[in-house]
């Protein structure tokens, strides 16, 4: 074993960084044995140097992250600051100064992954980011390496722990939305700005990363259709239950049947209680990968939180350190297919639409006619009257999203339709 240690700079020491520090310190001997050389924390960059950080060596703390990555003796930089800047500049500076990078930053990789991979390649460095998608679950490396010989057609799953935690609490304990969000934040699941979680930005970033790796193409967060969970109501969840379903925020990336394009979307959806994703509770994540040769694979585990995420970061650290010792680099970006990303309007799925209508003869026929005129076939209708008004729940057969949107637009114009209470896609059947 080499005695000279590999030097690691840690950028950020919050929820994830503090756990990375703890594991690096307590498992130092095992890490050294697995890598073939000791790894040493050479500096830890933070914003607030005076904050009390239990178990973090005070002498390593600095507020000058730029100076740390420019030191010249750093082998690996772990970036767990988050956000676009200064993370991007720090990572590219690290490459310029000979370091490889491990990051948990999905926002940055989904916005600018291509440029970061190019910078890594230019400087003969590694860029690893297993922790950026689905916390502890090994997903990036299996897609990038284990499945590199197969053809992936679909990736579908729950990739945001915070929103799964909120929806699960609303469903199972009747907790309110804000109360559940506060709990998820206190547990360290939410992003620095939890809007990224509840509005679907975090899941969209992960979908972009997954789609790019799975389909060997380039997908950025701007290509991903995104809807969050802020509009999901207790009534939606109750309606889902009546249908034998539950509501989950799903990320769905698909290769078109002709193989000529891909789609990527994040939105709440009803899924049957019999579907394996329905039993994914709290901040757990689960992702199905469907491919030509392997068939269907399911990846499941803790999707957020300091310790689970640190597990993924440390796995990358070991891999990158091993590469350093053998003077090699791991696989870089594989985006050779360059497939276009189709708009959401072309996505075909089923819908659950809840309407408030006048309770009088002919209304049902009028509503059914609007669906027919837009080529959207109805599967089931449930009507419940209440004081001259009625609630009408329509579940459709599979239809294009654009057809559904124009159906809803036309429904809103009917005098007898008082309001569209909710529209939710139905998946997993
Ligand atoms: P935190 O907000 O808990 O920690 C961020 C850390 O970065 C803090 O230590 C902060 O310093 C430091 N920091 C912020 N700005 C600067 C700066 N300009 N220079 C130096 N240090 C800075 O975030 P998390 O640990 O939760 O998340 C970190 C990354 O990991 C993000 O990219 C996130 O998306 C990702 N991630 C998080 C998961 C989770 O469950 N939390 C799961 C998977 C990925 P200070 O402590 O002084 O405030
Ligand atoms: N905020 C993210 C989540 C952290 O809740 O899933 C893990 O990426």
Q: Is 302 in the pocket of ligand 1 (CB under 6 A)?
A: no
* Full domain range(s) for residue 17: 6-135+306-325
202 lines ligand 2 (CB under 6 A): yes
In this structure, the answer to whether residues 215 and 275 fall within a common structural domain is yes
Together in a domain, 198 and 293: yes
Query: Do 63 and 23 share a structural domain?
Result: yes
- Determine the atom of ligand 2 nearest the C-alpha atom of 184: 5
HSE of 221, CA atoms in CB hemisphere, 13 A: 19
User: Domain check: are 318 and 360 in the same one?
Assistant: no
The sheet with strand 61-62 has its strands ordered as 61-62, 39-45, 6-11, 76-79, 100-103, 127-128
For residues 251 and 244, the answer to whether their CB atoms sit within 8 Å is no
Which of 170, 200, 186 lies closest to 110 in space, CA to CA? 200
pLDDT digits (tens, 9 = 90+) for 189-231: 999 999 999 999 999 999 999 999 999 999 999 999 999 999 9
In terms of DSSP H, where are the helices of 48-154? Answer: 65-69, 87-96, 106-122, 140-141
Q: What single-letter DSSP state applies at residue 192? A: S
Any ligand 1 atom below 6 A from CB of 38:
no
Q: What is the per-residue DSSP string for 151-178?
A: -EEEEEEE--HHHHHHHHHHHHT---HH
**Greatest C-alpha distance within the chain:** 85
pLDDT at res. 73: 97
Same domain, 131 and 144: no
Do residues 17 and 47 share a domain?
yes
**Ligand 1 mean position, distance from CA 105 (Å):** 9
Q: What is the pLDDT along the chain (429 residues), one digit of tens a residue?
A: 889 999 999 999 999 999 999 999 999 999 999 999 999 999 999 999 999 999 999 999 999 999 999 999 999 999 999 999 999 999 999 999 999 999 999 999 999 999 999 999 999 999 999 999 999 999 999 999 999 999 999 999 999 999 999 999 999 988 889 999 999 999 999 999 999 999 999 999 999 999 999 999 999 999 999 999 999 988 889 889 988 999 999 999 999 999 999 999 999 999 999 999 999 999 999 999 999 999 999 999 999 999 999 999 999 999 999 999 999 999 999 999 999 999 999 999 999 999 999 998 999 999 999 999 999 999 999 998 777 889 999 999 999 999 999 999 999 999 999 999 989 999 987
Residue of the CA atom closest to atom 4 of ligand 2: 304
Catalytic residue among 7, 106, 206, 248: 206
- 222 and 310, same domain (yes or no): no
Task: Specify the number of domains making up the chain.
Answer: 3
Q: How high is the pLDDT of residue 387?
A: 77
Residue 14 Cβ < 6 Å to ligand 1: yes
What distance in Å separates the CA atoms of residue 93 and residue 96, rounded to the nearest whole number? 5
Q: CA triplet 95, 339, 100: central angle to 5 degrees?
A: 10
Are 9 and 70 a contacting pair, CB within 8 Å?
no
CA atoms in the 13 A half-sphere facing the CB of 319 = 20
pLDDT of residue 210: 98
Question: 81 alpha carbon to ligand 1 midpoint, in Å?
Answer: 4
State whether 146 and 291 are in the same domain: yes
Neighbours of 237 (CB within 10 A): 19
Residue with tokens 């950025």: 220
**CATH number, position 167:** 3.30.360.10
pLDDT digits (tens, 9 = 90+) for 144-167: 999 999 999 999 999 999 999 999
Q: Name the residue with the closest Cα to ligand 1, atom 31.
A: 82
Predicted local confidence at residue 235, as pLDDT: 86
* Nearest listed ligand to the Cα of residue 285: 2
**Closest-lying ligand 2 atom to the alpha carbon of residue 309:** 7
Q: Whose atoms come closest to the Cα of 109: which ligand? A: 1
Which residue in the block uniquely carries the two structure tokens 């990303």? 341
Quote the pTM value.
0.97
Q: Is residue 340 part of a domain?
A: no
* CATH number, domain with residue 27: 3.40.50.720
pLDDT at 144 (0 to 100): 98
CATH of residue 358 = 3.30.70.260
The answer on 369 and 401 residing in a single domain is yes
Asked if residue 160 lies in contact with residue 169, where contact means CB atoms within 8 angstroms, the answer is no
Cα–Cα distance, 253 to 401 (Å, whole number): 15
pLDDT at 49: 97
Ligand 2 centre from 38 Cα, in Å?
31
- Is residue 309 lining ligand 1, measured as CB closer than 6 Å? yes
Evaluate: CB of 103 within 6 angstroms of ligand 1.
no
**What separation in angstroms does the CA of 318 have from each of 19, 21, 38, 126?**
16, 14, 11, 12
**Is position 206 annotated as part of the catalytic site?**
yes
């Amino acid at each position: 074993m080499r005695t000279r240690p590999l030097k690691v700079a840690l950028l950020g020491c919050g929820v994830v960084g503090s756990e990375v520090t703890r594991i690096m310190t307590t498992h130092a001997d095992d890490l050294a044995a697995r890598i073939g050389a000791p790894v040493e924390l050479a500096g830890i960059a933070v914003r607030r140097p005076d904050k009390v950080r239990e178990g973090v060596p005070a002498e390593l703390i600095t507020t000058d992250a730029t100076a740390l990555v420019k030191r010249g003796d750093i082998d690996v930089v772990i970036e767990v600051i988050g956000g676009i800047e200064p993370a991007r500049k720090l990572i590219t500076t690290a490459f310029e100064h000979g370091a490889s990078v491990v990051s948990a930053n999905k926002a940055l990789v989904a916005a600018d992954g291509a440029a970061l991979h190019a910078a890594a390649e230019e400087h003969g460095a590694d860029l690893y980011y297993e922790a950026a998608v689905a916390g502890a679950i090994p997903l990036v490396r299996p897609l990038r390496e284990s499945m590199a010989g197969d053809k992936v057609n679909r990736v579908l799953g729950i990739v945001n722990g915070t929103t799964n935690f909120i929806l699960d609490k609303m469903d199972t304990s009747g907790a309110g939305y804000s109360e559940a969000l506060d709990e998820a934040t206190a547990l360290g699941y939410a992003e620095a700005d939890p809007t990224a979680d509840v509005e679907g930005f975090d899941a969209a970033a992960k979908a972009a990363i997954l789609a790019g790796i799975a389909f060997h193409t380039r997908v950025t967060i701007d290509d991903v259709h995104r809807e969050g969970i802020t509009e999901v109501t207790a009534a939606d969840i109750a309606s889902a239950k009546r249908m034998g379903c539950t509501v989950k925020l799903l990320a769905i990336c698909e290769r078109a049947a002709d193989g000529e394009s891909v789609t990527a979307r994040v939105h709440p959806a009803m899924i049957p209680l019999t579907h394996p994703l329905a039993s994914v509770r709290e901040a757990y994540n689960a992702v199905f990968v469907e491919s030509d040769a392997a068939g269907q694979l399911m990846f499941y585990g803790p999707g957020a939180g300091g310790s689970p995420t640190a597990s993924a970061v440390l796995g990358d650290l070991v891999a990158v350190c091993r590469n350093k010792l053998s003077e090699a680099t791991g696989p870089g970006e594989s985006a050779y297919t360059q497939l276009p990303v189709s708009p959401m309007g072309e996505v075909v799925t089923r819908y659950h639409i809840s309407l408030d209508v006048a309770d009088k003869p002919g209304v049902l026929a009028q509503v059914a006619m609007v669906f027919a005129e837009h080529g959207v076939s109805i599967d089931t209708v449930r009507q419940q009257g209440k004081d001259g008004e009625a609630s009408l729940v329509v579940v459709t057969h599979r239809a294009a999203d654009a057809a559904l949107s124009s159906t809803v637009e036309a429904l809103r114009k009917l005098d007898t339709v008082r309001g569209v209470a909710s529209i939710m896609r139905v998946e997993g059947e």
